[in-house]
Structure 1
C-alpha cells in the first residue's frame, strides 16, 4: 500500500512511501528528472533501483521502503531504502545495497529539512524491520542530513564500527605514461613483464569497447571468468550466477545513461581480462574487473587496471575511483583513500539485543587489539 501524507511547511509538501513495483514504475519520469537536476550518481538513479528490484532473486525476503517528498507535482527528494531478511533478522538498508558502492539520498535545493526528517520518521514508524543499517556513506553524502546521529528526534542512530575505504588515483600528471613513471621500478617491470608473457601467447590488444558492440558475449565471458575466480577463492556472488539477469540489467542501465565504459585485454582475440567501469563527474569508477585464471602468471587483471588508469588520465578525467572492496591492488596504486561511514539503529527488542551483542563483540575486539599494541610497545621499550 502506498500512502501520501500532507505536512505543513512552506508551500505544499507531500510525503509518500513507495512499496510496490507498480508505483516504483509510475514515478520513473519524476525520479529521473530529480536525479538529473541534482547530478546524482548512477547508484541513486531510478533505472539502477528498478533494475535491481525487477531482477533480485530473493524478492520474497524483501520489501521496498522508498520515501518521496513532493512539492506540488514536483519530486524534490528520494530516500531509496528497502528491507531484507537475513539470518532471522530484518534489516532496513539502501535499496540495491549489494550492488551500490555509495549510498545516498537525492535532494533538490527547495526541499525543506523538515520534510526530509518527516519522511524518514514515517519510514521508521511504519516498521517492518528490526535494525536500520545505513552504510557506505561518503563524507559529503546528502544522507547525513537525516541519518547523522541525533538529527531526527526519537530515532536513535549511532555510528557503527563497520567502515569501508574507497581508494582513488588522483593527481597532476601530464599523461598516463607520466603517472606510470612515478611508480617504483619493480612495479613497472612487473607490468611490462606481464604484457610480454601475454605477447608470447599471441597478439595482445587493449581496447575500449565501442557503444555498438554487442554486450551479451562480453558479459557471458566476464561472468564465466568471475565464477571461476570466486570458486578458487571459496566465494559466491549473485551478480555472476549463470542464468541470473541482474548483471545484464545493471549494465543496460549504465549503457542507457551513457556512463558505461568496458575495457578489455585480448590475446589472439580472446578476452583475458575485462573491466566494467562507470564515468561520471569526470571520474572513472571501476565497477567489476576480472581476468582469466589460466593467464594468472601474466597478471592480466593488473595489466588492464594500469591500462585504463593511463587511458583515464590521457582523456582528461580527474580521478580513478576503485570503489569498495579490499583488494590489494587498490592500495598499491591509490594516491588517497576516503573512509565510508555507517550508522545503525535498533527498532525492535530483537534488534536491540543484536545491536548490544555487536557492541560487546566490538569492545572486546578493541580491548584485545589495544592490549596487543601495548605488549608490542613494551617489547620495543625493553629492546
Structure 2
C-alpha cells in the first residue's frame, strides 16, 4: 500500500494506492456508505468490483491498484484500477469483468481536490507506461484532466443513452410520448407473441442458484451464436471467468445481489434472457440473448420493454450503455450522451509503444496495398 499526503496535514486524510486484496476487502463498509451517498452506479458498487477482482482480474494475473482518498478519516473517493503486462509495457486500466464498461470515479459531491489527487496518482505513481480509459462521459469530473494530459495519444468518440424514468408518474403517459419503434407501439409485440402459446416473463429468484447457472449458460450460448452470425466475436463470450462473474452477480444467497436475471419462456421453452445490473437509482443492461427461431416476434425488444417497465415500477432510471442502436434513442427519448475513450502514455517508454504500433500499422497497410497492386497487375495480364 502506498500513501501520499498530497498537501494535507491530518494523518487521517490523504491518498493511498491499495495493492493488497485484504486491504481492498476492508473498504467494504466505508465504500458502501460512499456509494449510497454519491448515488453510485452499478459498476461502482463494492460488491461488483470485488467480483470483478476475485472472479476475473485476479485469475488473469492482474495487479490491483485501488486509489482511495480520505478526509478526516472519511472515505470520499474510490477508483479501482488494475495493471497488466502487454509485451514490454505495463498497462493500467479500470477494474472490469473483462467487458467494455464505463470509466468513472466514485466520489462524494464536491470532491474536486480528491479527484485531482486521484488523477495524479494514476498517471504518476502507478508505475504504468500506458493508461487506457474507456468510455468517459463528457460531464465526468476528470474528463478535462484526461483531455489536457500531455501524454494523450489517441481518443475515440462514442455515444450512450439514458432514460430518466424516476420522475415519470404514469407508464401509459410515458409510452404515449414515444411514438413507434419499427412501426410498433409499446406492448404491441408482446400481445402478438402471446397468441403463440403461454408466454411467461419473470425475474429469477435471487436464491435459485441452479436456475441462475442454467440460464446464464443458455444466454451466453445464444450470444455466441449471434456474435458468429454478425461477426462480432469477443473473448469474454468464451470466458469461464466472465460466466462465473455473471452467475455470482445475481446470487442472493449470502448478500444482496447486484443483478437481476429476467427470463422468457413460451410453453415452458426458453426464448430469451436479459441480465440487468443494479445501481443505487439506475439499472444497466449488461447482457441479453434470445433463440433466433423466434426472431420474427422480436423477443429481445419484448424483454427490453419489460425490463424498462420494471425499472419504472421500482423508481429507477435506465442506462442503455454505449451504442447507436435505434431502441436506445427511442426509449431514452433522444437523451444521447457523448463519451470518449482515452489512451494515454504516462512514460516515454509508453510513447514508444504507440509509436511502434503506428509503425506496424503503416507497414501492414503498405504490404496490403502492394498485394492489391500485384493482384491488379496479374488480372490485367491474364
The match for 1:228 among 222, 231, 240 is: 222
Supply the distance in 2 between the matched residues of 1:247 and 1:5 (Cα, whole angstroms): 36
Deviates more, 1:167-176 or 1:277-286: 167-176
Give the secondary-structure state (helix, strand or coil) at the position aligned to 2:156: coil
The answer to whether the 8 A contact 2:162-2:332 is kept is yes
Is 1:203 aligned to residue 198 of structure 2? yes
Supply the distance in 2 between the matched residues of 1:79 and 1:158 (Cα, whole angstroms): 20
Aligned partner of 1:149 in structure 2 is: 147
Residue correspondences, number: 353
Normalising by the residue count of structure 2, what TM-score does the alignment of the two structures yield?
0.76
Deviates more, 1:328-337 or 1:12-21: 328-337
Is 1:40 aligned to residue 36 of structure 2? no
Is 1:9 aligned to residue 4 of structure 2? no
Aligned partner of 1:294 in structure 2 is: 293
- The Cα shift of 1:54 comes to 0.7
The answer to whether the 8 A contact 2:265-2:272 is kept is yes
Aligned partner of 1:21 in structure 2 is: 21
The answer to whether the 8 A contact 2:92-2:132 is kept is yes
Write the deviation string for residues 55-101 of structure 1: whole angstroms up to 9, x where unpaired. Answer: 11674542111112233432222222111334665321111163473
Aligned partner of 1:330 in structure 2 is: 328
CA distance 1:86–1:253, shift in 2 (3 Å): farther
Supply the distance in 2 between the matched residues of 1:223 and 1:191 (Cα, whole angstroms): 28
Normalising by the residue count of structure 1, what TM-score does the alignment of the two structures yield?
0.76
Following superposition of structure 1 onto structure 2, how do residues 114-153 of structure 1 map, counting pairs within 5 Å?
115-144=114-143, 147-150=145-148
- The Cα shift of 1:245 comes to 1.9
Supply the distance in 2 between the matched residues of 1:338 and 1:88 (Cα, whole angstroms): 36
Write the deviation string for residues 163-219 of structure 1: whole angstroms up to 9, x where unpaired. Answer: 22212345786644455554338532797467535642x3112234454x5143134
Is 1:218 aligned to residue 212 of structure 2? yes
CA distance 1:310–1:89, shift in 2 (3 Å): same
- The Cα shift of 1:262 comes to 3.2
Supply the distance in 1 between the matched residues of 2:117 and 2:185 (Cα, whole angstroms): 57
CA distance 1:36–1:65, shift in 2 (3 Å): same
Aligned partner of 1:277 in structure 2 is: 276
Following superposition of structure 1 onto structure 2, how do residues 139-178 of structure 1 map, counting pairs within 5 Å?
139-144=138-143, 147-150=145-148, 156-158=150-152, 160-170=154-164, 175-178=170-173
Aligned partner of 1:320 in structure 2 is: 318
Write the deviation string for residues 210-244 of structure 1: whole angstroms up to 9, x where unpaired. Answer: 54x51431342233232233244232343664575
Aligned partner of 1:52 in structure 2 is: 52
- The Cα shift of 1:353 comes to 3.4
- The Cα shift of 1:342 comes to 2.7
Following superposition of structure 1 onto structure 2, how do residues 334-373 of structure 1 map, counting pairs within 5 Å?
334-335=332-333, 336-356=335-355
The answer to whether the 8 A contact 1:195-1:300 is kept is no
The answer to whether the 8 A contact 1:195-1:298 is kept is no
- The Cα shift of 1:53 comes to 0.9
The answer to whether the 8 A contact 1:282-1:318 is kept is yes
Supply the distance in 2 between the matched residues of 1:119 and 1:319 (Cα, whole angstroms): 28
Supply the distance in 2 between the matched residues of 1:326 and 1:220 (Cα, whole angstroms): 31
Supply the distance in 2 between the matched residues of 1:357 and 1:116 (Cα, whole angstroms): 32
Supply the distance in 2 between the matched residues of 1:176 and 1:280 (Cα, whole angstroms): 21
CA distance 1:326–1:358, shift in 2 (3 Å): farther
Deviates more, 1:223-232 or 1:248-257: 248-257
Give the secondary-structure state (helix, strand or coil) at the position aligned to 1:56: helix
For structure 2, the 5+ residue unaligned runs are 362-382
CA distance 1:260–1:190, shift in 2 (3 Å): closer
Give the secondary-structure state (helix, strand or coil) at the position aligned to 1:64: strand
Supply the distance in 2 between the matched residues of 1:34 and 1:233 (Cα, whole angstroms): 38
The answer to whether the 8 A contact 2:311-2:318 is kept is yes
